């Protein structure tokens, strides 16, 4: 299958990319993460994905749209639902990109992290996939957590300390 793999960051990209290729899929990456704050952090993560692309040859589609205003407007006064909005925004873009790019399916590196809400990601992915006529490929990539972390260090990739948005940054450094 020709799969579009939404990449939230280079670290989380490694294991899902390797796994999907081992399964025989033709994999393309997608960078679309307007939630990441501040802009300097966004650029560090984008640069790390570009480094990974150069080191591995993975072809990546860049939707380099730093639309922080859209993200903040979508979560304002609904902060407790911010992850739902964020997942939906990114997975919907992945589904549309997959449909227009003639992909057989799409998935996300969000499914690699032990810190994300897998059931919510899966539900949103399947819903937007149905709506746009492209399959959401659910796979629990968390088993590769240690491998991905070690490989990231081997490759010398930037390793971020929080999920991405201003709220997750605050929680990380303030202590949840």
Question: For the chain, which domains are there?
Answer: 2-174 (3.40.50.620)
In three-state secondary structure terms, 172 is helix
C-alpha 57/C-alpha 26 separation (Å) is 12
CA-to-CA dists, residue 71 to 7, 87, 143, angstroms? 17, 11, 30
Q: Which residues of the chain have pLDDT under 50?
A: none
At 165 the pLDDT is 65
How many Cβ atoms are within 10 Å of 53's Cβ, its own excluded?
18
At 121 the pLDDT is 98
In three-state secondary structure terms, 113 is coil
CA-to-CA dists, residue 90 to 83, 108, 129, 156, 171, angstroms? 11, 9, 12, 26, 21
Task: Label residue 156 exposed, middle or buried (CB < 10 Å: 0-12, 13-18, 19+).
Answer: exposed
At 170 the pLDDT is 66
pTM given for the model? 0.94
At 75 the pLDDT is 86
Cis peptide before 156 (omega within 30 of 0): no
Binding residues for [4Fe-4S] cluster: 8-9, 83, 86
Binding residues: 8-9, 83, 86
Which tokens sit at 125? 């992915």
C-alpha 170/C-alpha 173 separation (Å) is 5
At 175 the pLDDT is 67
In three-state secondary structure terms, 115 is coil
At 125 the pLDDT is 99
């Amino acid at each position: 299958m020709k799969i579009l793999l939404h990449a939230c960051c280079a670290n989380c990209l490694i294991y899902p990319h390797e796994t999907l290729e081992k399964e025989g899929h033709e994999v393309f990456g997608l960078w679309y993460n307007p939630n990441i704050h501040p802009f300097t952090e966004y650029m560090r993560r984008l640069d790390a994905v570009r480094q990974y692309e150069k080191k591995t040859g993975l072809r990546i589609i860049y939707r380099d749209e730093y639309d922080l205003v859209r993200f903040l407007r979508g979560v304002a006064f609904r902060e407790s639902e911010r992850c739902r909005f964020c997942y939906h925004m990114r997975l919907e873009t992945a589904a549309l990109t997959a449909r227009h790019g003639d992909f057989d399916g799409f998935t996300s590196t969000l499914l690699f992290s032990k810190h994300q809400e897998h059931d919510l990601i899966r539900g949103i992915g399947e819903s937007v996939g149905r709506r746009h006529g492209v399959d959401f490929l659910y796979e629990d990539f968390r088993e590769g957590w240690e491998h991905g972390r070690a490989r990231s260090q081997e490759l010398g990739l930037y390793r971020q300390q929080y999920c991405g948005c201003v709220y997750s940054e605050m929680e990380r450094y303030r202590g949840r």
